[in-house]
Structure 1
Amino acid sequence: MSVLIKLRDYRNLPEAESEVRKYILKNSKEVLEMTVYDVAKNSYTSPATVIRLCKKLDLKGFNQFKIKLASEIRGFDNMQLDILDVTNVSPNDSPVMIIDKITNIERQSIEETRMLLNEKDLMKAADHLHNATIIDFFGVGASNIVAFDATYKFMRIGKNVACYQLYDRQYVQAVNADAKHVAVIFSYSGETKEMVEVLNELQKNGCYVITVTCSSSNTLAKLADNSISVSSKETLFRSGAMASRITQLYIVDILYALCCQYDYDNVKAKVVKTRITNKDKVS
């Protein structure tokens, strides 16, 4: 888990912890040479506030934070990533400039998501998907598009899958699930009201739930059996919708490929069998 990305994406922190967060993000390299007292002084907070923030990052204290920070700064430098970069698309941009900016947003989002990924969580998710009798996919808005993409991929390898566009049908889908079902919920914010309601119904029925959300603390990630985090570079419009969709699709591709490895030859045959060619099309 990247502490820098998690810090950047944190929302609704207490005011004092938010000041520490801002200071560290703006002065990450300088922080490596500081004590907890230095950071507290420079952010106009207290050592206790700095340590509380470190513990919210699942770290024992400030020293462990600095060890993680040093490693990440090297990684960001090697990939030429700027943790605070906000790419703006302006009215005067040429088509080439817009193409380059969008390419950069999506490339960096995928590279940051790679830094967030936990191999054990991914393998655990893939194992449950492989063994599931039925896989249910959920999401609203842009996340619903990702859910349908996942549905098609897993259907091609012979999995019994379900996905609906309208929320009322997704809710009924959740109510009718049982322990034989594995559910995957896509929601970048992790706070989508409808998806929280769906998750509660799924868990009432003993359904194993995997969520794909942002890296910051959120309701869906806390409640899920397995949560996978993605990154999203901010844009001028601050929604991150384009980048979050790309990173969610990236997770779908990884889980799909991992599941294919369980029975590679059989899966390959199914993919070939379900490939639509010109001769299969009806004129």
Structure 2
Amino acid sequence: MFSGDVIATFNELETNLYDYICKNSEKVIYMRIRDLADETHVSTSTILRFCRKINCEGFSEFKVRLKLFLDNNEETTIKSSQYALSDFMERTLKGNLDSTIKEAASLIVKSDNLIFIGTGSSGILAEYGARYFSSLGKFSMYVKDPYIPIHANYLHNSTTIALSVSGENSFTISHLNQLKQKGSNIISITNNKHCTIARMADINISYYVTEEWYKKSNITTQIPVVFIIEETAREVQKLSQQKPYSDL
């Protein structure tokens, strides 16, 4: 309700008023303007000026908007991740996830370099993926800084694994575009195959779980992603051991 730009315009009295409202929102929506003035030790004119700064014509409109804001931010019930996990495992048994993982592993094992990219929680998993693959003998690196420049010349025989729940992250898309143009193969791990990042990839591995949000944070379970990363790494390790024999 209060943007950073608006908060920056508050004077000392208005900042104290803002602080009181944030700490007593449930109480303020039922107060009269005189009551709020007495509680915060400011004049009613200061309160009206405060309301106009946040585009409210008066205190009554401000209270209505504050109540709507509070109603939209009520606590939501967070389901156990076991439901999403059971759905994923059921689809895994019925679908072609295993064959897609093997296809991805075959591509990775032929590559000289392996790069993981992602931002947010996907960036954390990119770091985990790079470490897990490296632990199993396929040295990997990760990129989770959305602003890092990509100018390397060793990307021609490389594979990039892009992690994204929505598959629409603009920074990841921008990085993928650069990596693809430099010759890197693309494997994407996304929640569905009908997204931009999946369409950019040579191979897409989708896990299809219900997206969950808590307020403005995406809290969709990442358990399927960990499973896919680990299964792919194990398949790469197995293929790497077989490689000398297949070359005979």
TM-score by length of 2: 0.59
Q: Which runs of 5+ in 1 are unaligned?
A: 1-87, 92-97, 267-283
In the other structure, the counterpart of 1:186 is: 163
Contact 1:189–1:214 at 8 Å: present in 2 too?
yes
The change in CA–CA distance for 1:237 and 1:216 in structure 2 (over 3 A counts) is farther
**1: distance between equivalents of 2:120 and 2:146?**
10
Are 2:145 and 1:166 aligned?
yes
Partner amino acid, structure 1, of 2:150? V
Show the counterpart of 1:202.
179
Deviations 1:190-242 (A, max 9, x none): 11101111111111111111011122411111111111111222446396634
4+ runs of 1 displaced by more than 6 Å?
none
Give yes or no for the alignment of 1:222 onto 2:196.
no
1:135-163 superposed Cα distances (whole Å, 9 cap, x missing partner): 00000001111111111111112223111
Aligned to 1:203, what secondary structure does the other structure show? Answer: helix
Whether the 8 Å CA contact 1:125–1:255 is kept in 2: the answer is yes
**Equivalent-residue separation in structure 2 for 1:177 and 1:198 (angstroms):** 15
Q: Identify the residue that residue 237 of structure 2 maps to in structure 1.
A: 260
Structure 1: which amino acid aligns with 2:210? K
| Structure number with larger C-alpha Rg | 2
Question: What 5-or-longer segments of structure 2 have no aligned partner?
Answer: 1-74, 244-248
- The number of residue pairs the alignment matches comes to 168
The structure whose residues are more often helix, as a share, is 1
> Structure 1 residue 181: deviation in Å?
1.1
1:39-50 matched pairs, under 5 angstroms = none
Q: Which amino acid aligns with 1:151?
A: A
1:216–1:154 distance in 2 versus 1, CA, 3 Å: closer
Q: Aligned in 2, Cα 1:216/1:122: closer, same or farther, shift over 3 Å?
A: closer
The alignment-based identity, stated in percent, is 20
> Once the 2 structures are TM-superposed, how far is the Cα of residue 113 of structure 1 from its aligned partner?
4.9
Which of 1 and 2 has higher RCO (CA within 8 Å, sep 6+)? Answer: 1
Establish whether residue 103 from structure 1 lines up as the match of residue 90 from structure 2: no
Question: C-alpha displacement at 1:265, in angstroms?
Answer: 9.0
Instruction: Give 1:1-283 correspondences, 5 Å limit.
Output: 90=77, 101-113=80-92, 115-169=94-148, 171-172=149-150, 176-235=153-212, 237=214, 241-243=219-221, 245-264=222-241
Q: Is the 8 A contact 1:89 1:236 kept in 2?
A: no
Superposition RMSD on alpha carbons, in Å?
Answer: 2.8
Q: Distance in 2 between matches of 1:127 and 1:230?
A: 20
